[in-house]
Amino acid sequence: MKFMHCVSKTILHQQRCKVHMSSLYRPVIVAPPPSPKTASEKTKKGVRKDEQDSLSKSLRLLIDNGVIGPSSCVGAYHLLPFGLKAMEKLTKLVDNHMIMANCQKIQMPVLTSSSLWKATGRLEKCKPELMRVVDRHSKEFLLSPTHEEAICDLIKNPPLSHKQLPQRLYQITEKFRDEARPRFGLLRGRQFLMKDLYTFDTDLEAAKQTYDEINQVYSKLLSSLDLQWMQAHGSTGTIGGLNSHEFHVMSEIGEDSILQCSSCNEVFNADLSEDQQEDQLEATGSGSVSQASTTSDPKCINCGSTALSSSKCIEVAHSFLLGTKYTKPLSALYITEENKKVPMEMGCFGLGVSRLLAASVEVKSTMDEIRWPLRIAPYLVSIVPPKQGSKEDVLGTPLAVQMYESLKKILPNDVIYDDRTNQTIGKRLKDCKKLGIPYVIVCGQSVQDPLGPLMEVHDVNAGISSLDHSDKIAKQLYDINSSIKRLT
């Protein structure tokens, strides 16, 4: 026992900052059994419908591979080393897109006073989904699910001059919602990571321009993850406002349905079509709402056509042109050129960061192996040295270490060394593929090639492998990394 500890200390002192697979990747440790897969198999006979429903491919893969872990709070997950790494990469990517849109990053507290939500009328409206805390002085706070009230409270005092507008403030923070039925892991959790941007403009025309601009940024962001996505007219729901667009990743597991009109190409959430029909029916008095939605076909919200194609999808972002819905009741005013005080025109733009991560895994993975968008894979490359004591050990291990050192220079934070050398190469290669590390470099038998040492490079996403010299492999990975960065 003491020996193990000493080994660890020696490694620490000799190889500071070296990222080892063994110390980062250990699903055996971090994924508590029974795994959801086993659980679902076990309970197929007598399982309750809602328990079966809470599983998804992404949740099963992420837990089985030790990327995330369930916690003592249903609907909230431990981010384990690989999961946190991917989340930090996605966060950085979102940051970059926000900076490009001239947004400034801030961070608002988790708790918001209930009194602010009372002022906008949302306290009652959202009651069942709000998690609430009472402090020792009997004051009530919300674990904020969103921050429209908080940002208005921040920005209102003192009133801005028209010269200081527009303002674009965003944060990437943990949000909370007491979901009736949390499911599919990070896809519908009670704690989730959200990017929320709030914009303030002088007039509606300017606010509309901001709205269009941010929606374009969202389009770029989703495209950079190489996902199949759609932008659709959405319902303004409890957030409210004048206009709303949703961004969806196409997936059969999604809880939303998107309709596309083959007459006018309008794309919209199926909810909207239902709402419209209900409105019409109510106006004409021709029947009750529940009858209506079962009897008539959905119609296009733009041209009224019924030639609609439907797709299931996961909502990952939602933009709202809010107008003065929040700035008016909370007196978030600005001073005009004529020295009058009027409410600012507001927009809000939410992006579910943890949900987008899970949606990416959901749509890209195979049934048995995780696949990540290249940009957010926890590591781009892993290096698998020979098994300890094998024929290749003497020649291959120094080559693997050398490869690690060279790659670390060109891919800082993106290369990991799989030092679980008590396991076979085959077992470790399989693990790397299951984890979805895009490139795996194996130092196996070919390091003994009579014409000079060769290594195997596995392009996991393409499902192909090749043999090459170490300098050529390094050059190849450098080029791949550069092209990824160019696209970001």
Backbone angles phi, psi at 290, to 5 degrees: -65, -35
Determine if 92 is a binding residue for a second copy (CB under 8 A): no
Q: What's the min distance (Å) between Cβ of 42 and a second copy? A: 16
Determine if 109 is a binding residue for a second copy (CB under 8 A): yes
Q: Write the Ramachandran bin of 311: left for phi over 0, alpha for psi from -120 to 50, otherwise beta.
A: beta
Determine if 231 is a binding residue for a second copy (CB under 8 A): no
Determine if 164 is a binding residue for a second copy (CB under 8 A): yes
Q: Which of 157, 216, 223, 488 binds a second copy (CB under 8 A)?
A: 157
Tracing tokens 């085959």 back to the chain, one arrives at 426
Quote the distance between the C-alpha of residue 54 and its chain's center: 18
Q: Which of 37, 40, 47, 113 binds a second copy (CB under 8 A)?
A: 113
Determine if 339 is a binding residue for a second copy (CB under 8 A): no
Determine if 224 is a binding residue for a second copy (CB under 8 A): no
- Cis ω for the linkage preceding 450 (within 30 of 0): no
Q: What's the min distance (Å) between Cβ of 15 and a second copy? A: 9
Backbone angles phi, psi at 100, to 5 degrees: -60, -30
Q: Nearest to residue 475, comparing CAs of 396, 400, 410?
A: 410
Determine if 463 is a binding residue for a second copy (CB under 8 A): no
User: How many other CB atoms are found less than 10 A from the CB of residue 6?
Assistant: 10
Q: Which of 46, 49, 107, 463 binds a second copy (CB under 8 A)?
A: 107
- Contacts (CB under 8 A) with a second copy, residues 51-90: 69, 71-73, 76-81, 84-85, 87
- Contacts (CB under 8 A) with a second copy, residues 6-45: 8-9, 11-12, 16-17, 23-24, 26, 28-30, 32-33
Q: What's the min distance (Å) between Cβ of 248 and a second copy? A: 27
Q: What's the min distance (Å) between Cβ of 422 and a second copy? A: 9
Total chain residues near a second copy (CB under 8 A): 84
- Contacts (CB under 8 A) with a second copy, residues 426-445: none
- Contacts (CB under 8 A) with a second copy, residues 168-207: 174, 176, 178, 180, 190-191, 201-203, 205-206
d(CA 470, CA 475): 9
Which is closer to a second copy, CB of 77 or CB of 229?
Answer: 77
d(CA 161, CA 443): 64
Buried b (16+ CB within 10 A) or exposed e, 416-438: bbbbbbeeebeebbebbbbbbbb
Determine if 1 is a binding residue for a second copy (CB under 8 A): yes
Determine if 153 is a binding residue for a second copy (CB under 8 A): yes
Pairing of strands 243-250, 308-323: antiparallel
d(CA 270, CA 309): 10
